[in-house]
Amino acid sequence: MPLYDYRCANGHTFEARHGFNDPAPACPECGEAHVQRVITSAPGVMQGINASAGKNASKADLQSKWAEETPKLREKLVNKLGEDTVNKYAPTLNTKYD
Ligand SMILES: [Zn+2]
């Protein structure tokens, strides 16, 4: 099960492990049921890009980072899996970050 980060309406942050479709848990500190999920990790390629571009990176920085990193990642995958497989299973690598 995935681990999620939450912040309650009173500012407490906590982690909870539960299924994707399960409702958000109440805050363990104060019992507040109004909690928001905090996105601390993005899946796949965006994680590396965000990490290397820094937290306060502008959209333009992210775009140039994407343009820089995506062809490299794609090349690695093509070497490993072949052109056809990459086109079939990772079509987003052929598109531009926008
Ligand atoms: Zn709380």
Q: How would you write 44-94 as a 3-class SS string?
A: CHHHHHHHHHCCCCCHHHHHHHHHHHHHHHHHHHHHHHCHHHHHHHCHHHH
Cα of 28 from ligand 1 centre, angstroms:
7
How far is 59 from 36, CA to CA, in rounded Å? Answer: 24
- pTM of the predicted model, to two decimals? 0.41
**What residues have a C-beta under 5 A from ligand 1, the ion?**
8, 10, 12, 27, 29-30, 32
Cα of 30 from ligand 1 centre, angstroms:
4
pLDDT at residue number 8: 96
Digit-coded pLDDT (tens) for 22-79 = 889 999 999 999 999 987 655 555 555 555 555 666 778 878 888 888 888 888 888 9
pLDDT at residue number 9: 96
